[in-house]
Amino acid sequence: GENVEQHPSTLSVQEGDSAVIKCTYSDSASNYFPWYKQELGKGPQLIIDIRSNVGEKKDQRIAVTLNKTAKHFSLHITETQPEDSAVYFCAAFANAGGTSYGKLTFGQGTILTVHP
Amino acid sequence: GAGVSQTPSNKVTEKGKYVELRCDPISGHTALYWYRQSLGQGPEFLIYFQGTGAADDSGLPNDRFFAVRPEGSVSTLKIQRTERGDSAVYLCASSLIGGRTDTQYFGPGTRLTVL
């Protein structure tokens, strides 16, 4: 099955700096890669996603890059703000054996702390 | 509109007891997923429903775990003879059709504590 590794496990930055979180995946059939933000006591919330036919996607201060050959993808947050502090999860979606459905496999999470 | 809701938000039970966790997906979403999140870890897939049927239950850890979605909307995750190792946050997510183009929207989770 799919295995997703995420690094670093914790990341501390000063407000205004950039933050980068990296993930690798094992299943070359994975074709959709969402990133979720989880705040304390809440469920994960989608912040950005990328599909396997695209190399990069940007949404304001957040960008995601995908390298299918190397099987890794990264989240970039620029001009970080204290409210960006949360746990961030990457995930990979793979279809189940020729079907149109599949499941997400999550990384272990990165605790991001942005200091004012 | 309303998001995914889960009840109860917290459940404390004793070892050996039976528990039911409920998920109300976003209206009109045909796909529903259950995940389990242990402390400091990412969510782990348990089961996926497409409509009323369980399309993939490969993540259920053993036969003490069972889930139903009888009318294709609300789902209930049932855990028999609970063990301390079942303590975790149980997350539910729904998506429109369940394919790879779908966004999965998560509920706030139910925190289960088995004493």
Q: Per-residue pLDDT tens for B48-102?
A: 999 999 888 999 999 999 999 999 999 999 999 999 999 999 999 999 987 766 8
Q: Which residue has the higher pLDDT, B99 or B23?
A: B23
Inform me whether the C-beta atom of residue B101 falls under 8 Å from chain A C-beta atoms.
yes
Could you tell me how far CA A63 lies from the centroid of its own chain?
Answer: 10
pLDDT exceeds 60 at position B1: no
CB atoms under 10 Å from CB of B46, counted, come to 22
| pLDDT attached to residue A97 | 63
| pLDDT attached to residue A98 | 62
Between chains, do B103 and A42 touch, taking CB under 8 Å as contact? no
**Confidence band (pLDDT; 50, 70, 90) for A81?**
very high
Between chains, do B100 and A100 touch, taking CB under 8 Å as contact? yes
Three-class secondary structure of residue B85 per DSSP? helix
